[in-house]
Structure 1
């Protein structure tokens, strides 16, 4: 047998093991509300190849690929436990077990590591929380995909309705088609059917009522059996408390805005200040995609080095707010053709930092250039630090933050030498540190942060909604603080 034959046989064996993991992961998710992760990446509803690729990501941690033969025993140990709703990272279980010298069996170690999710310590499965989407544009449809994907056992968030203005004949059919197919993010993973008579879209078994209204005052959500719901306004039409309060209609308990909030509306960046949300808060904002991209790395750098001042330059993909061809626009420059030009514009991300990260007192300035790509942007964060350091130290620190810290769902890290923007389409992190582009000179650091301004931001929105709804379940093993 040749070396190549050995490699192929090894690959087929790993495929077989990954295939055996799928029903175990699915059963834990459906029956116990347990989401199985591998170094913060969900393995729920993933294919054999996707599971193997996610294991390969572990090279960033130990310098070598994590094998499914190593993680399968931990997954099998989890199925034998009386688990409650939780997120369990089998990659971290494997890594911490490798470093443990007490001689425990995998079953014993696993039971100890996830003790908070078992027996009398486990939390009870919660009743599903209704969610309503007000608007169904780029962010609305991606949030819908994520909510449907995360419906799992049906005990988490449940998308009940979408509110839109009627666009004309066959409106619901066209909206369902836009949910089914996306030029950037690809096909919807599942099945979608439409019942025009009842104005309902059924996506992977989730019945979603399409409600036509021109104004929030026209809708009584209780008439559709919706109650205590969280409404996600992704129109951006209203951004202050007075305007967003119009959504607090019968059946709606809380309103979450997918744009920067104005006035006293709190701007929330999950992972940074989501724990400041008061239980009785009814109106909040998820800030902007760029704010979500820069605030977690800013917090990480400020915690470790101190930040004396900074400037962020965002090179941002074009959006629907711009014109395809030159035409009148109320804003300067945005009337010029988006696919044909780089367009200098403003960003409120820098000023929004103070709301999300008040402990950072350093002045942060910002500007933005829109460029002819449809998705994925990059924020160039130039910082004056409180102490001198080296490029190697900064990269080691940010790599560790991305893997083991409470910010690991927000910050990702790449060492790929040929990385370009399209590589990050579909990233679920708020931003990705590009190690190869990072520059450090004494107390000056420049970070290049990629971010999928559509999908990564939508993931952040859903995390905030999960938190305020009470279905953001604890993660085991607990990340280092």
Structure 2
């Protein structure tokens, strides 16, 4: 490579860095002061580094015919920052690409006029709802990730306020240990910010958020109003109570208004997979379940396929990371096989996820079977869906359809899509999608299809849980365009 080529390559990189640096304060200001989350083809740019912003733009080329340069999208972001918009997730990439390459502008429409038309639902529509108090009952893997997600959204326009965590214990050094577990994570890396312990108030301070630490042994023995918490949504991460009687104990505590369970519920409690049946949540629902991580991963893809091709029947096999329910070394466990060492064995076990799909997608009732294999990885799982469709297709057509669903359908927040031939499980740690379609692994033979879906069973699921919290709070944030 010549010196001239080297210089051009470096200049191109420096230009991208410069525009990414110019974008950062605009993205932050839009989020903090207007409640607008800026994304590029589904990838959030909020709190992103310059490299994150550059990489998000590079991904556009995987989905479209041309690349999207940062210098091309910057004028759209700059115009957005000067507009009276609020409370929305705005895809900067789709807006810029549509205007520049897809002829979505009308006549000689300027960028400002184009944005006014495309973002009409969020213009002059400031959300005046009072902030919603949220309490995390239990502070394990999901609880701590939910805390991270809510803390990263901190700002004057944030309507979900993490007010407290409820845990058992209260032994000496407990606050320091809770802070340390939130600060450091062996799978998801360090907390992005500052965490300090407030002994005087028995609380944690994280990026400007004061989180009260409350000790309790039962859901019905807490008086949240003593801490200035009222009408709170209690997110139960313990998995101890799964029916209406057990979860109803939360509602006996002063200051508690609604309960969301981060596990499949029993009885008549609604099991919600956001993106599929979140419309079933009503203002009158006091107890709701966010189903399981696997149900959230497979149901959106199954819905997309069933809507287009119809599903006669099928089998779902999950290859699942081991969980805290298993033993580190061989020891007694009440469940079959789970007593054997999780880091050393593949463990065949059962899953109710395939049957649970019907609770969110009734048209698939009785059509799916399922099983699970726990494997020695700490996070990120895969669902292999072997389906018999109602009509014949081919790999290319089915993949194209799922790609469009991931980018432009009502399921775009749930389904991601990859065409990489090199992707492995650790590459997907931190994915905010319920599931990621691995298009290179897709197999189609007439009316039979095998679809592989990756999912971060911790972080991706936590994002789905938070979407349910927003709906329970009545916070309907539009995704535009």
When normalised by structure 1's length, the TM-score is: 0.97
Partner of 1:388, secondary structure, is: coil
Following TM superposition, by how much is the alpha carbon of 1:320 offset from its aligned partner in structure 2, in angstroms? 0.4
Residue number among 268, 291, 309 corresponding to 1:287 in the alignment = 291
Following TM superposition, by how much is the alpha carbon of 1:291 offset from its aligned partner in structure 2, in angstroms? 0.2
Following TM superposition, by how much is the alpha carbon of 1:188 offset from its aligned partner in structure 2, in angstroms? 0.2
Task: State the alpha-carbon separation in 2 of the partners of residues 155 and 380 from structure 1.
Answer: 37
Residue number among 108, 113, 117 corresponding to 1:103 in the alignment = 108
Partner of 2:165, secondary structure, is: strand
Task: State the alpha-carbon separation in 2 of the partners of residues 356 and 158 from structure 1.
Answer: 28
Task: State the alpha-carbon separation in 2 of the partners of residues 48 and 152 from structure 1.
Answer: 21
Task: State the alpha-carbon separation in 1 of the partners of residues 163 and 210 from structure 2.
Answer: 7
The list of structure 1 runs, each at least 4 consecutive aligned residues, that deviate by more than 4 angstroms after superposition, is: none
Task: State the alpha-carbon separation in 2 of the partners of residues 256 and 266 from structure 1.
Answer: 10
Partner of 1:15, secondary structure, is: helix
Q: Note if 1:446 corresponds to 2:450.
A: yes
Following TM superposition, by how much is the alpha carbon of 1:361 offset from its aligned partner in structure 2, in angstroms? 4.2
Counterpart residue number, 1:12? 14
Task: State the alpha-carbon separation in 2 of the partners of residues 124 and 421 from structure 1.
Answer: 39
When normalised by structure 2's length, the TM-score is: 0.97
Structure 1 residues 359 and 95 mapped into 2: Cα distance closer, same or farther (>3 Å)? Answer: farther
Counterpart residue number, 1:72? 74
Counterpart residue number, 1:312? 316
* RMSD of aligned Cα (Å): 1.2
Partner of 1:155, secondary structure, is: coil
CA deviation vs aligned residue, 1:180-214 (integer Å, no higher than 9, x gap): 00000000000000012321000001000000011
Partner of 1:389, secondary structure, is: coil
Task: State the alpha-carbon separation in 2 of the partners of residues 125 and 68 from structure 1.
Answer: 33
Task: State the alpha-carbon separation in 1 of the partners of residues 467 and 233 from structure 2.
Answer: 13
Task: State the alpha-carbon separation in 2 of the partners of residues 103 and 60 from structure 1.
Answer: 29
Residue number among 456, 459, 477 corresponding to 1:455 in the alignment = 459
Q: Retained in 2: the 8 A contact 1:84–1:125?
A: no
Between 80-89 and 423-432, report the one with greater CA deviation. 80-89
Q: Note if 1:229 corresponds to 2:240.
A: no
Partner of 1:281, secondary structure, is: coil
Counterpart residue number, 2:118? 113
Any gaps of 5 or more consecutive residues in structure 1? none
CA deviation vs aligned residue, 1:209-228 (integer Å, no higher than 9, x gap): 00001111221111111011
Following TM superposition, by how much is the alpha carbon of 1:388 offset from its aligned partner in structure 2, in angstroms? 0.3
Counterpart residue number, 2:393? 389
Q: Retained in 2: the 8 A contact 1:430–1:452?
A: yes
Residue number among 30, 43, 46 corresponding to 1:44 in the alignment = 46
Counterpart residue number, 1:183? 186
Q: Note if 1:465 corresponds to 2:465.
A: no
Q: Retained in 1: the 8 A contact 2:85–2:126?
A: no
Q: Retained in 2: the 8 A contact 1:307–1:362?
A: no
Aligned pairs (5 A) from 1:156-305: 156-166=159-169, 168-248=171-251, 249-305=253-309
Q: How many residues align?
A: 475
Counterpart residue number, 2:355? 351
Task: State the alpha-carbon separation in 2 of the partners of residues 210 and 460 from structure 1.
Answer: 24
Counterpart residue number, 1:59? 61
Residue number among 77, 84, 108 corresponding to 1:82 in the alignment = 84
Structure 1 residues 39 and 125 mapped into 2: Cα distance closer, same or farther (>3 Å)? Answer: farther
CA deviation vs aligned residue, 1:85-129 (integer Å, no higher than 9, x gap): 22211111112213225221111111111122113xx14232211
Partner of 1:92, secondary structure, is: helix
Task: State the alpha-carbon separation in 1 of the partners of residues 280 and 116 from structure 2.
Answer: 32
Counterpart residue number, 2:150? 147
Task: State the alpha-carbon separation in 2 of the partners of residues 333 and 326 from structure 1.
Answer: 10
Counterpart residue number, 1:424? 428
Task: State the alpha-carbon separation in 1 of the partners of residues 35 and 415 from structure 2.
Answer: 25
Q: Retained in 2: the 8 A contact 1:150–1:156?
A: no
Task: State the alpha-carbon separation in 2 of the partners of residues 344 and 307 from structure 1.
Answer: 26
CA deviation vs aligned residue, 1:271-307 (integer Å, no higher than 9, x gap): 0000111111000100000000100000000000000
